[in-house]
Amino acid sequence: MKQEFFTLRWTGAELQLIDQTLLPGTIAYIELNSYEAVSDAILHMKVRGAPAIGIAAAYGMVLAAKAAPATDLSSFRAALSQAASHLVKSRPTAVNLHWAVERLLSQAEASDALAIPDIIHALEQEAVLIHDEDRQINRAIGENLLTLLKDGDTVLTHCNAGALATSEYGTALSVFYLAQEKGIRLKAYADETRPRLQGARLTAFELLHNGVDVTLICDNMAAVVMAQGKIDAVIVGCDRVAANGDTANKIGTFNVSILAKHFGIPFYIAAPTPTIDLCCTSGADIPIEERSSREITMIDQHRIAPEGIKTYNPAFDVTPAAHITAIVTEKGIVYPPYTEHLSKLFE
């Protein structure tokens, strides 16, 4: 995989992130040295994508630990709890954020008998492990996705579930990079993904940068390219998968699933197991983040809608399990009935 940029990097003292709000025009990195700065970067989507958010939050907890009182265990634990509460409120839909924070809190509890510097070291090791695990997960998902495609296929994707949304390879986009490594020809169609244009700014950027044959389309063109027989499969990422297979992903994914079902095109979810929330019964229980009206009414500080217009801006929607052909994880490909088969992944 050609990737010359990096999404996030831990130096031991700070978290370095590519600022995704500046792409594709500018490749610039920011340096974060507090959990508040990490939370702000998540909130303002300088880092985004469920796996990347989880990794960033894990390092945010490490930064909180390094800044916490180092002599009093009670005060130290209170500082960690405060940081955890702050981080999980950054964005509510992606379960990886909460999962990573809870994993760091559990590690702190398991290390309770240690001195505070040793607890901090254990937390840092755990965050690095989460980062490393994500790389392995992404590659395994790509390998599994590749078994569902054949040489010459064209895949439609929505939003960005690539290297920019993870540590490396990505989830939905991992299949393109694995195909390159194996000499298999795949083409991509990328929806622009309004209102923040992650498909146009990020997916198109990274696929083109890495030599993948990619075509950018507006969101409202998906039906046309499907009707013209140009799409062999749809692969998207996810921010949370409920126990019954209902899946939350970037707004507009539900629309694409309806079209795929109508045209008989397989619709696949690329889902790392940390994104599967068996405590969430169905999509109705997934909290959906609503964002600022400015994302709809403004583009690059230029107003595109009348002043004072009412807006509704959910960042995600839920694709019903009935629209999903398979959920592809690092542990294997899961087919319906999802309520029965998803739980087996954790046995």
> What does the pLDDT read at residue 3?
67
Domain boundary among 138, 158, 181: 138
Range of the domain at 63: 8-138
Judge if 252 and 321 occupy the same domain: yes
Q: Which of 219, 239, 246, 317 is catalytic?
A: 239
Enumerate residue ranges in the chain where pLDDT < 70: 1-3
> What does the pLDDT read at residue 230?
98
What digits encode the pLDDT tens for the residues 208-223?
999 999 999 999 999 9
Q: Quick check: is 239 catalytic? A: yes
What digits encode the pLDDT tens for the residues 296-313?
999 888 999 999 999 999
Asked if residue 171 lies in contact with residue 270, where contact means CB atoms within 8 angstroms, the answer is yes
CATH number of the domain residue 254 falls in: 3.40.50.10470
Global pTM? 0.94
What is the total count of domains within the chain? 2
Does residue 143 fall inside a structural domain? no
> What does the pLDDT read at residue 4?
77
**CA-CA-CA-CA torsion sign (39, 40, 43, 44):** negative
Does residue 3 fall inside a structural domain? no
Peptide bond into 24 cis (omega under 30): yes
Question: Encoding tokens for residue 143?
Answer: 């390998």
Q: What type of residue is 339?
A: T
Mean pLDDT of the chain: 96
Judge if 23 and 77 occupy the same domain: yes
> What does the pLDDT read at residue 29?
98
CA distance 237 to 171: 6
Q: Which helix (H) or strand (E) holds 95?
A: helix 95-110
